[in-house]
Structure formats: structure tokens, C-alpha cells
Amino acid sequence: MTSFPSDAPLEQVIRAFERLGFREVRRGNHISMIRDNADGTHTPLTMPSHRRIKGSTLRTILTQARISRDDFLNAFDAS
């Protein structure tokens, strides 16, 4: 497994979130994604629409969406 990305390409980050069950809902200055959970709830996720996402921003997104670092890295490495 690789180390946590410090400056990740946006499209690779989006593909990783899609592998984790998220789908893109809206794209503008920010990208909104949502995941439909098995229990009927939804998990929202919002990230800036920059070409590259800083590591600190990515860690905050993962915390807010309740995604573990390892789960994200596995999906990110598969990209």
C-alpha cells in the first residue's frame, strides 16, 4: 500500500470515491457526491473542484464522510 497522497489528481480521487459506492450528483465550484447505504440512509460528500486535492483537504473529506484511510487508499491505488 502506498502512502497517503499529498497532492492527488481530482479524477483519480473521484474514481476512488466511486469505487467506494459514491456517485456524482453535482459539479460546479465544488463536487457533490452521495452514497446510498444499505440501511436506507445517505452519506454526502463535498470536495473542491480543483485539479489537484491537497492531502489535508482529502483527510478532512474522509473524516466527514466516515471513510477509513485504509479503505480510501485501497480504492485510490486501484485507480
Provide the residue ranges of all domains of the chain, joining segments of one domain with +: 7-77
* Residue ranges with strand state E in 1-79: 7-9, 23-27, 30-36, 42-48, 52-54
Q: What is residue 68's DSSP assignment?
A: -
Q: How many CA atoms lie within 13 Å of 8's alpha carbon, on the beta-carbon side?
A: 28
Q: How far apart are CA 62 and CA 46, in angstroms?
A: 10
How many Å separate Cα 70 from the centre of its chain?
13
pLDDT of residue 78: 85
pLDDT tens digits along 8-66: 999 999 999 999 999 999 999 999 999 999 999 999 999 999 999 999 999 999 999 99
pLDDT of residue 62: 95
Q: For the domain bounded by 7-77, which CATH number is listed?
A: 3.30.920.30
pLDDT of residue 1: 53
* pTM exceeding 0.85: yes
pLDDT of residue 54: 95
